[in-house]
Amino acid sequence: MAAEMLKRHVRIVTRLVLALILGCLGLSAPLSGQDKQLAAVRVTLLSLRQHPNDHRETRGATPQLTVVKHQLRDWIEFHLSTFPRTGKERALAEELHAGLRDAELFCNDESLCFPSSLGFLDDIQVSRDDEFLMFQTAVGIWCGYDYSAYVYQWIGSGWRRVWQSEQDAYTEKEYLPQIIHAVHISAPDAARNRLVLTLGSKPGCASAFQPVYYRVWRISENPQTSRLLLQESELANVGGDPPIRGKVGPDDVLIGFEVGGTGYGSSHQAVRHYEVRASAVRQVDPIATTPRDFVEEWLSLPWTQSASRSESPALKEWYSKLHRDDGMGDFPEPAVHCTSPDLWQIATHLHELPEMYYLIRWRQPYRFTMSGVSDRPYPDCSDRDPKGDEHPNLFPGQN
């Protein structure tokens, strides 16, 4: 297998070099289908390299980026036309990498592609999820790359594209490029439909806080029936690798990431959980997995959401005094268990405010409600219990 791949790469390079030599002599030579497609990608990318500082309002992106995305997608699909159903995705990824490398479409000199990567590509990521093949491509823009994702399913006697995600609205307001960290596909439901979850973050040159994106589609074997059900973004700490994780079932989506702490203090772990019924998506608990994280979520979310997690309407007065929507963190002390087994106390010292105490009711596994708020400790809460600050692994097997 390795020897055959090497021979194939040599043939590709030889054809490209021959075409270049003959072109300089004013002659021409026939190219194979994939050589023509790769040559077209190169021509478009080289034209973009001439204008690295243009269109800064969209980070250099124009409709030409869609041209590159589709040329690259078509080149991938040319390879898939002969890729067997049980083929090794790693071998395919290496073959695609070699083609792009030999065509000099990667940036090997940072001085040529920083801060603008316009006119360059990042590697193509290939993975398999049960009966699906997934590809992620990345086209250079200012301070990063614009990722696209494609999913193929073996239908009949070949691979068929059943879903894709691309950014193709190149206006300052609508263009939302992202690094795609993961694509997850659910098991089928009773109607053979599936959910696709994508997890991404905004590419940037330096900032540790960027929007993270999570989107959910319903797909079937007919690509025309694919439908976007959920599209959300939140400011998060993107220092982790990956900065956002998630999993998806036929009617259930769970997502986790770190938020808060943009001005000082520590980030906390937020959870977003959704139920999907037909085309209706509804957020449900949990929003956190520890009492402390729940307090920070309760303080930062709009009252319309925090009210449903409050045991008394009177808590709105405390919420109004303490609510923060600037993303700043606080300095909580360790969780304290109370005499009542389902009650916990969390102490915070918000910026420019006195120490406050929050009484949290915790019903297993991660159902929290705000039972009380006070400027004094609760007398029945004194047992420091490390279980109150332990974060469970909601996404086992993920880096």
The tens digit of pLDDT for each residue in 99-130 reads 999 999 999 988 888 899 999 999 999 999 88
Three-class SS of residue 152?
A: strand
The stretch 317-333 carries a mean pLDDT of: 79
- Residue 104: other Cβ atoms inside 10 A: 13
Could you tell me the pLDDT band of residue 135, with boundaries at 50, 70 and 90?
very high
Domain boundaries, the chain: 1-177, 178-284, 298-389
Those residues with Cβ within 8 angstroms of residue 178's Cβ, 6 or more apart along the chain or in another chain: 146, 147, 167, 200, 201, 202, 203, 213
Could you tell me the pLDDT band of residue 229, with boundaries at 50, 70 and 90?
very high
For 202-327, where are the E strands, in sequence order?
Answer: 209-219, 227-237, 244-249, 252-259, 268-277, 280-284
pLDDT of residue 33: 59
Cα 193 to Cα 188: distance, rounded to the nearest angstrom: 5
pLDDT of residue 31: 53
Could you tell me the pLDDT band of residue 143, with boundaries at 50, 70 and 90?
very high
pLDDT of residue 319: 96
Q: Quick: pLDDT tens for 358-370.
A: 999 999 999 999 9
Report the largest interatomic distance among the alpha carbons of the chain, rounded to a whole angstrom.
Answer: 90
CA-to-CA dists, residue 19 to 23, 24, 106, 234, 356, angstroms: 6, 9, 21, 49, 73
pLDDT of residue 24: 43
pLDDT of residue 25: 34
pLDDT of residue 112: 84
What mean pLDDT, rounded, does the chain reach?
Answer: 89
pLDDT of residue 279: 83
Residue 141's nearest CA partner among 25, 206, 62, 29 is: 62
Q: What type of residue is 261?
A: G
The stretch 189-202 carries a mean pLDDT of: 95
* 367-374 and 356-363 beta bridge pairing: antiparallel
Token reading at 106: 């990667």
Token reading at 272: 């977003």
Q: What type of residue is 91?
A: A
Long-range residue pairs from 208-212, CB within 8 A, at least 24 positions apart, any chain: 208/237, 208/238, 208/239, 209/235, 209/236, 209/237, 209/238, 209/262, 209/327, 210/235, 210/236, 210/238, 211/235, 211/236, 212/236, 212/238, 212/243, 212/244, 212/257
Element (H, E) at 18: helix 2-24
Percentages helix, strand, coil for the chain (3-state, rounded to 5) are 30, 35, 40
b/e map of 318-330 (b: 16 or more CB within 10 Å)?
Answer: bbeebebeebebb
Cα 3 to Cα 8: distance, rounded to the nearest angstrom: 9
Cα 187 to Cα 250: distance, rounded to the nearest angstrom: 6
Asked if residues 366 and 288 have their Cβ atoms less than 8 Å apart, the reply is yes
Asked whether the predicted pLDDT for residue 237 surpasses 50, the reply is: yes
The stretch 129-155 carries a mean pLDDT of: 95
Could you tell me the pLDDT band of residue 389, with boundaries at 50, 70 and 90?
very high
Three-class SS of residue 11?
A: helix
CA-to-CA dists, residue 128 to 79, 122, 134, angstroms: 16, 20, 6
The stretch 168-189 carries a mean pLDDT of: 96
Cα 121 to Cα 106: distance, rounded to the nearest angstrom: 5
The stretch 301-330 carries a mean pLDDT of: 89
Token reading at 282: 């509804």
Cα 181 to Cα 368: distance, rounded to the nearest angstrom: 29
pLDDT of residue 107: 94
pLDDT of residue 330: 67
Measured distance between the N- and C-terminal CA atoms of the chain, rounded to whole angstroms: 30
pLDDT of residue 264: 62
Asked if residues 374 and 355 have their Cβ atoms less than 8 Å apart, the reply is no
The stretch 210-237 carries a mean pLDDT of: 92
Those residues with Cβ within 8 angstroms of residue 361's Cβ, 6 or more apart along the chain or in another chain: 311, 342, 343, 368, 369, 370, 371
